[in-house]
Amino acid sequence: MDFFSLAVIIAYVLLSISLLVSIIRVAIGPSLPDRVVALDLIAFVVISLIATYSISSGHPVYLDVAIVLALVAFLGTIAFARFVFIRAERQNNEGTHV
């Protein structure tokens, strides 16, 4: 077994552990932002798994899939941040009128 194969196996193991911990955080997250951050982390761990597979298999076409998934995850994070911002503004406006 060469160094590259060992590094790929270690990367798969560590990414799998990270994915498992993130799934647990989604399941028991105390608040909605915690769950959204965990979902964002899951997306980026999956992107890392795809990139690792692409490098280890020698098929660079999978990197396109990883890029598209990264863009979708980024847009989801921006949408959630906007939702939280608008929700906070509504609560502030309702609090000042009372």
Helix, strand, or coil (residue 2): coil
Spans in the chain with pLDDT lower than 50:
none
pTM for this predicted structure: 0.84
> What pLDDT shows up at residue 19?
97
- Sketch the domain layout of the chain as residue ranges: 3-97
pLDDT at 94: 82
Q: Are 22 and 47 in contact (CB under 8 A)?
A: no
pLDDT at 2: 95
Distance separating alpha carbons of residues 18 and 42, to the nearest angstrom: 8
- How far apart CA 71 and CA 67 sit, in angstroms, is 6
SS3 20: helix
* Four-residue CA torsion sign, 81, 22, 15, 52: negative
- Residue in the structure block whose two tokens are 């597979």: 53
